[in-house]
Structure 1
Amino acid sequence: MGDLASGMRYLGQGQRWVLRNGRWFGFGLLPALITLVLYGAALTALGFWADDLAAWATPFADDWESPWPGLLRGTFTALLFAAGLLLAVLTFTAVALLVGEPFYEALSEKVEESEGGGPGGPDRPLWRDLWISLCDSLHVLLRMAVFTVPLFVLGFVPVVGQTVVPAAGFAVSGFFLTAELTSVALQRRDVPVRERLRMLRERKALALGFGVPLVLAFLVPLVAVLLMPGAVAGATLLVRDLADGRADGDGGATGGAGEGGGDAGPHPHRPHPPYPQGTAEAARTTPRPS
């Protein structure tokens, strides 16, 4: 329970930080707003064509007696739209981060500066950072698919599909949403995507405490836009303590942003994370997109 509470505190601290620094709040809204328009159009199209997709996917039910074809296709339609909505929640963040890479990178750096400074990041052109972000996001989405595809199938199981599966779906989405949001600060530390996922797996409760409330909030489209700047700020605060090995339920989430926001004085953090020395160098020499 301590890690869950810590994750939620980081989320609250990030929202307070951007509210105390209104210019950065507005700065981070534009990429999320553009992404919202794109996803609104995609979900509208899915809703319009969902019935036809259900009929196409279940031709074997054409000869069934009423009301079974309608019940099967109605369930399929509901699950298809729910899966699309949950997928949109996760990919919304990935696309918004890609669209707003310079915006969110600047916001994350400002948060670190207000907390006592952080790593300057690798010296490489913007196009390369965008390419790495895209490839890392695809890696995360493929990992997520390993869980969401079986959950989609299990959604057809009576009772389990209406109780356990939705709860598991929110947990999976929350974990990978945290992975996407922390990528801004962890990429600046040149931590490879596999190492990022390993770090979060070791602190699953922390990742879920941060990500699951956001998944629930992001189900409301306008809320997703309004919370996005604070989510990036909160993820940066989480990374600072997680990378320093100090994100715990007893005090890891009680840094300066929670008390003084962007106006707080320097907050003491160890300058570098405890992952093995040479990890960043190894990432550059292993076959990964760059």
Structure 2
Amino acid sequence: MRDLGAGFRYLLKGQRWVARHGKQYGFGLLPGLITLVLYAAALVALAVWGEGFVAWATPFADDWSSPWSGLFRGFLTVVLFALGLLLSVLTFTAMTLLVGQPFYESLSEKVDRDVSPDGTAPESNLPLWRELWISGRDSLRIVVRALVWAVLLFALGFVPVLGQTVVPVIGFFVTGFFLTEELTAVALQRRGVELRERLGLLRSRKTLVWGFGTPLGLAFLVPFVAVFLMPGAVAGATLMARDLLGEETAGDGAEEPEAQDARS
């Protein structure tokens, strides 16, 4: 239970860190805003042209008697939009991190320097294109895993009683785990920690991960909140990554910007 509280404190420390470093917070908002606009445009397009797409994809229903054709296609249109919405929720963090790789990498490095006793931060020394490739590849693997869980939990949702009580709770914890993996990947990938090892680290401290990722996942359900919490989430995940690797941390990451600048 101690780890559960520690995970939540890392989330709060990350938000506090960016609140005290306004410049980094401002830059950190840009990727989320860009991704939000792209996803909103895609969902609007799906809402506008989804019905036409379903009609095109189901020519066999043209000869059905009324109202069955309309009901069938209407149902498929709703399902199509729901799947698009689910996919956007599952991939928003991964896409935001991919779009904002340079921004979040810089933010994470600044957090490391701020809390490191010697004022240094690990560097990957990889070219940007290579970092983007690794980030995109690993994010795709995580999204596939998350989709498998989503399908499984969706199916279990039809189980009486359990599907309406236990399954949603499990879903929030699963979401929190994968969300934390995506966020800690910014700092861990820079340290050369591969995906398999990252997952092993997170599984070894599941309550810490849940304490960080589950409340964040719940907050992300509120429209637009994800955009404003992302910079702090990356900062908090960097602090937690140091804990997972047993790295020494000076203070709580809330050092004044002036003090950090003096050390740089």
Normalised to the residue count of structure 1, the TM-score between the two structures is: 0.74
Structure 2: where are the runs of 5+ without partners? Answer: 65-70
Distance change in 2, residues 1:206/1:90 (3 Å):
farther
Match of 2:169 among 164, 167, 170: 167
How many positions carry a matched residue from both structures? 254
Distance change in 2, residues 1:46/1:145 (3 Å):
same
In 2, the alpha carbon distance for the partners of 1:80 and 1:169 equals: 21
Q: How far did 1:181 drift?
A: 0.3
- Supply the AA of the counterpart residue of 1:220: V
Match of 1:256 among 246, 252, 257: 252
| 1:24 aligned counterpart, secondary structure | helix
- Note if 1:209 corresponds to 2:203: no
Structure 1, residues 176-202: CA drift from partner, whole Å, max 9, x if none? 000000000000100001110110011
In 2, the alpha carbon distance for the partners of 1:182 and 1:5 equals: 18
In 2, the alpha carbon distance for the partners of 1:163 and 1:82 equals: 21
| 1:123 aligned counterpart, secondary structure | coil
In 2, the alpha carbon distance for the partners of 1:178 and 1:233 equals: 12
| Percent identity between the two aligned chains | 60
Distance change in 2, residues 1:16/1:78 (3 Å):
farther
Match of 2:189 among 176, 187, 190: 187
Q: How far did 1:212 drift?
A: 1.1
Normalised to the residue count of structure 2, the TM-score between the two structures is: 0.81
In 2, the alpha carbon distance for the partners of 1:264 and 1:151 equals: 48
Greater helix fraction, Structure 1 or Structure 2: 2
- Note if 1:227 corresponds to 2:221: no
Aligned twin of 2:126? 124
In 1, the alpha carbon distance for the partners of 2:247 and 2:127 equals: 30
Structure 1, residues 147-206: CA drift from partner, whole Å, max 9, x if none? 111112222334333222222221111100000000000001000011101100111111
Contact 2:202 2:209 in 1 (8 A): yes
- Note if 1:28 corresponds to 2:25: no
Q: How far did 1:120 drift?
A: 2.8
Match of 1:242 among 240, 244, 264: 244
Aligned twin of 2:67? none
In 2, the alpha carbon distance for the partners of 1:45 and 1:202 equals: 42
Contact 1:10 1:238 in 2 (8 A): yes
Q: How far did 1:92 drift?
A: 0.9
